[in-house]
Structure 1
Amino acid sequence: MQNDNSKLMNEVSTVASILVKDVDETKLMLRLEEILSNYDIKRKTELELEEDLPEKVELFIDAKRLEGLSNLTLQGYWIELNMFHKFLRKATVQINTVDIRKYLSSNSEWSPGTIDKKLSVLKTFFGWLMNEEIILKNPASKVKSPKQPKRLPKGLGIEEMEILRESCVDNRERALIETLYATGCRLAELVNMKITDINFNENSAKIIGKGNKERVVYFTFKSMYHLKKYINERKGNSEYVFCSIRHPYNKVTGRSIERLINKISARTSIKKNIHPHIFRHTMATHMMENGAELADVQHILGHDNPSTTLVYSHVSEERKKQAHKRFLVS
């Protein structure tokens, strides 16, 4: 039975014979034996090989943290890669394109959007491993993204917005609805908004968005009116705009805001799925329908790529009809 040194020598010799033509295997084996006699080599067990992926994931997360990615993004990376590891249980260097395709097709309930998100994480992870020279090639690079159905973001109509407003039972709920709609903030951006970030004279606020980038968002007079009422009456001295209603009045979590919006929505007859992000869709859609320039909406939403904002560029049938009458010469 071969010891670990002999196994390593044979493996190195095989690789060398592939890379170098006319290699003298006898001399190579003798030289390797001479070198390896100075070392005590132990071959990793199958379990040790399988468990090396979490170690690589930790290195990846640490590197991305140094690049300034948000904790929310890092948590998303960790969750996705942990799911991949539980499915595969394979040494990182042995993972191939087939493995990734099997994983992405393993759950029939995953939508094309979910699969695309998972694939994006895997491409980023294995691309980083390749750049760090931990692996020789990215096994996810040849996997194509699934075709996405063309769906327009579902916002709320003006009447539906009024129904939600009228369904609020206190200033906290009303301020929340108005702030989400007026600023177009993402949920995490709203959660982390501090009172000191708000310029009450200019009806604006500085927020930190995706990629740790700062931008300015704006309030309407109506939203600022309700926000001031809420801030003036709330208890505690939290530095954050929206805090809990009980001592010690900590910053609200994203889940708390989701639950609160669900409560407001339950009081209405609106059939749509009401969630925090729908107000962002609604604000962008209403702005575009009222004639706002695409570039302006892009900067207000904090989109790096104009194509991301382009999904809001659809217009109502009535607006298209009026534009046709106005601009087409008979």
Structure 2
Amino acid sequence: MIRTSSVAPRSGGSTLELPADDLAASIRRKLDADLGTVRVRRPDGTLARMARLELLAEDVTPETWTLTLHWLTSTRRGSVNTKRNYLDDIRTTWAPYARTLGQERFALGCFTSDDIRSWRMHQEAQGAPPTTIARRLNMLSSLHKYAAERMDLPRNPVTQDDRPKVDKGNTSTSTPVLEIADIQALCDVAETEFDCLVLQLLYTLAGRVTEMCEADVTDIVRRTGRIHVDVTRKENKDRVLPLPAAVADMLTDHITGRTAGPLLLGADRERLTRHDVDGILTRLGHKARILTCPDAYTGRGRRRKDDDRPRHSFRTCKVCRDITPHVLRASRITHMLDAKVPLAEVQAFADHDNPATTVGYWNRRKVAERNAELVDAGASIFADRRPSTLDHTHQQEATA
């Protein structure tokens, strides 16, 4: 275990448990870099960036804080993005739920199995996807199991009885794939060169959003007369990737005059975050009307008072989907497979450890095409069959 000393947290109250030896500063810098920052709203309504490490200290007990950091820094959780998502789950899901149950802060062992069942049923009633519920429960169970090996805790509150069954073949919730014309339409509606840069950078490299957001200006590499970018991919794998000439030109314009700091800066001149990228792509998607239905533009609070039709809900609509960074990645991988790029090359380019992951994109594409062929074949037997005029007349009379 890392030796610790007490350091007062930003907001007072309980103490932070930080390393006490001469490695304290470097370990703290490493933790801050891995866990990153998030935007939070101050009491006066303004937004500010705060370290996840400090925010966690305000939401959990000191003992839970220390054990959570040991759990997150384990090599079994190598992905930086995974660590951040887990930490956000604690801050935004489990700490608020603990307060709902009367706890001042979230502490390991504060939930019973009945508490977890109530939470799961509430999430289902709110329409939360089974995958989201399962991920948050898996995170809590893993943390509890890790901590139980180091301290006395009640029984793990997350049981198999409350883990949702996730349909891995569910295509209604799988990441949608845009066609090439859709990708071009997104570029056409971009209002700034920076929007084009973000869109093209993610698509052409089939990149993950965290790779691009975490890159620095010093990660630009010039080789053989071409600009490359050195990105850290999942599981801390470093990859030097060439940039298309047009993307390189836009990126060069974006970083003009800067020799250090973030590669991509948002409108606030701070490091671009994945939430910023989500906002850019969602805005472009709505403007180009990609992955949206007509009701999205006529029913969102714009209907006349005498129109009693239910208002359109973007969240629950089966057609409307936000365009996320992963939509661009999935689209690029699928387009490469469509172009008959060898599977091994696509797997290497996408940095999939398991070829089955790459094959999954191919299978989903082919399943959709095959299903269309099958339903069309089924309908073909009715091609020359139409309701008779007499039957149509009777149907009209019955309706009247």
Aligned to 2:299: none
Aligned to 1:45: none
Equivalenced residue count is 265
Aligned to 1:275: 324
Instruction: Indicate the structure with greater helix content.
Output: 1
Determine the C-alpha separation between the residues in 2 that align with 1:142 and 1:66.
Answer: 27
Q: Which has the larger radius of gyration?
A: 1
Determine the C-alpha separation between the residues in 2 that align with 1:84 and 1:93.
Answer: 13
TM-score, with structure 1 as normaliser: 0.67
Given candidates 243, 263, 285, the residue that maps to 1:265 is 285
TM-score, with structure 2 as normaliser: 0.56
Residues 1:197 and 1:93: Cα distance change in structure 2 (over 3 Å): closer
Given that 1:183 and 1:217 are in contact with CA atoms closer than 8 Å, whether structure 2 keeps it comes out as no
More deviation in 230-239 or 151-160? 230-239
Given that 2:190 and 2:284 are in contact with CA atoms closer than 8 Å, whether structure 1 keeps it comes out as yes
Aligned to 1:76: 88
Residues 1:303 and 1:226: Cα distance change in structure 2 (over 3 Å): closer
Given that 1:54 and 1:82 are in contact with CA atoms closer than 8 Å, whether structure 2 keeps it comes out as no
Determine the C-alpha separation between the residues in 2 that align with 1:145 and 1:299.
Answer: 34
1:124 matches 2:137: no
**Letter of the 1:116 counterpart:** A
| SS state at 2:230 partner | strand
Given that 2:186 and 2:288 are in contact with CA atoms closer than 8 Å, whether structure 1 keeps it comes out as yes
Cα offsets for 1:16-36 (capped at 9, x unmatched): xxxxxxxxxxxxxxxxxxxxx
Percent sequence identity over matched residues?
18
Aligned to 1:135: 153
**Letter of the 2:132 counterpart:** T
Instruction: Indicate the structure with greater strand content.
Output: 2
Aligned to 1:228: 249
Aligned to 2:179: 157
Cα offsets for 1:72-120 (capped at 9, x unmatched): 2353242233134234457855744333222211231122122111111
* Correspondences of 1:168-179 after superposition (within 5 Å): 168-179=190-201
1:147 matches 2:196: no
1:216 matches 2:239: yes
| SS state at 1:105 partner | helix
1:196 matches 2:218: yes
Given that 1:175 and 1:230 are in contact with CA atoms closer than 8 Å, whether structure 2 keeps it comes out as yes
Given that 1:182 and 1:219 are in contact with CA atoms closer than 8 Å, whether structure 2 keeps it comes out as no
Q: CA deviation at 1:227?
A: 3.0
User: What RMSD over aligned residues (CA atoms) do the two structures have, in Å?
Assistant: 3.4
Residues 1:264 and 1:234: Cα distance change in structure 2 (over 3 Å): farther
Residues 1:318 and 1:148: Cα distance change in structure 2 (over 3 Å): closer
| SS state at 1:168 partner | coil
Q: Which has the higher contact order (CA 8 A, sep 6+)?
A: 1
**Letter of the 1:78 counterpart:** I
Determine the C-alpha separation between the residues in 2 that align with 1:233 and 1:128.
Answer: 44
Aligned to 1:21: none
Determine the C-alpha separation between the residues in 2 that align with 1:85 and 1:269.
Answer: 40
